[in-house]
Amino acid sequence: MTATVSPATRAARPADRLVARAPRRGPLRWLREHIVPIAAGLAFVYMLLPNVIVVLFSFNNPTGRYNYTWNEFSLDAWLHPCAPSGMCSSLGLSLRIGLLATLVSTILGTLAAFAMARHRYRGRATSNVLVFLPMATPEVVMGSSLLTLFVSSQVPLGATTILIAHIMFSISFVIVTVKARIAGLDPRLEQAAMDLYANERQTFLRVTFPLVAPGILAASMLAFALSFDDYIITNFTASASSITFPMYVWGSAPRGTPVQVNVVGTVMFLLALSAVGIGQLIGRRGRKRAAR
């Protein structure tokens, strides 16, 4: 007796079943799907490569004056950071000027940012344009103009004139950074605090200032970096006895930059990474608490 197999049974057999296969993904399709992460990774490598070289050559023991080729691993530069004459004194001057310029420019810039973002007054548009002038003016022009101002006013050049110049161009960056943070605030949060019978001072201290604080911190870090790193304007407004760290590095380059310069650069780089990392951890904990 012959058994007959129905068409439905035949279609259900594994050998006769049509298996849907995923289309093959060629290399061009994979590249199109991952082009953005690849470009971002290459950009990060491009930006961080000089910092990696600085960290690496801070452990180098050069054979001659120049620290441009790798010779052998050594901790001598880390154990004796002030061995080069005049380096630590110039570093201390840059740190003092940078901290003072950051403090003053952060306070004045934050107050100006609140005034420009929250109040309407005559000349508001003009003040917005004036804020961008120090940022758009070439540093050579600004440095020579400040030199002319100090000389014509018979102000002796030195650490004071450097501090005045650094405060002047740092305020603009602080205003722009803090103002952007204020513009991004949700006004309903302050209105809710007012509805809960908080006065203006309590609303500012408990709602507005904590929300603006990350922007103020970022602005202060930017101001310190600009002040500590500046050379052109500092060179115009400094005297022979007020040598900052960038001026020391530039002056020592023709006769051989000491390895300790890379040590200072490595320490500053690690401090900046630590500050950013701590800020990210604090922000993550704050978001977790708010989610609860």
- Among all chains, which residue has been given the structure tokens 């904590």? 210
60 with 71: CB under 8 angstroms?
Answer: yes
Per-residue pLDDT, averaged over 116-125, amounts to 83
Q: Does domain 85-257 have CATH number 1.10.3720.10?
A: yes
Per-residue pLDDT, averaged over 79-101, amounts to 93
- The per-residue pLDDT for range 257-287, each reduced to its tens digit, is 899 999 999 999 999 888 888 877 877 876 7
pLDDT at 18: 46
- Spell out the SS3 assignment of 21-55: CCCCCCHHHHHHHCHHHHHHHHHHHHHHHHHHHHH
How many percent of the chain have pLDDT more than 70? Answer: 89
CB neighbours (10 Å) of residue 162?
Answer: 27
pLDDT at 1: 46
Mean pLDDT of the chain: 86
pLDDT at 259: 92
- Spell out the SS3 assignment of the chain: CCCCCCHHHHHHCCCCCCCCCCCCCCHHHHHHHCHHHHHHHHHHHHHHHHHHHHHHHCCECCCCCCCCCCCCECCHHHHCCCCCCCHHHHHHHHHHHHHHHHHHHHHHHHHHHHHHHHCCCCCHHHHHHHHHHHHHCCHHHHHHHHHHHHHHCCCCCCHHHHHHHHHHHHHHHHHHHHHHHHHCCCHHHHHHHHHCCCCHHHHHHHHHHHHHHHHHHHHHHHHHHHHHHCCHHHHHHCCCCCCCHHHHHHHHCCCCCCHHHHHHHHHHHHHHHHHHHHHHHHHHHHHHHHHC
- Listed by start position, the domains of the chain span 32-80+259-292, 85-257
Q: Which CA distances in Å does 286 have to 138, 188, 208, 214, 275?
A: 40, 20, 15, 12, 17
pLDDT beyond 70 at 11: no
Per-residue pLDDT, averaged over 42-60, amounts to 92
Which residues make beta-bridge pairs with 73? 60
User: What's the distance, CA 202 to chain centroid?
Assistant: 31
pLDDT beyond 70 at 10: no
Per-residue pLDDT, averaged over 118-140, amounts to 86
Rounded Cα distance between 272 and 221, Å, is: 9
pLDDT beyond 80 at 21: no
Per-residue pLDDT, averaged over 200-206, amounts to 87
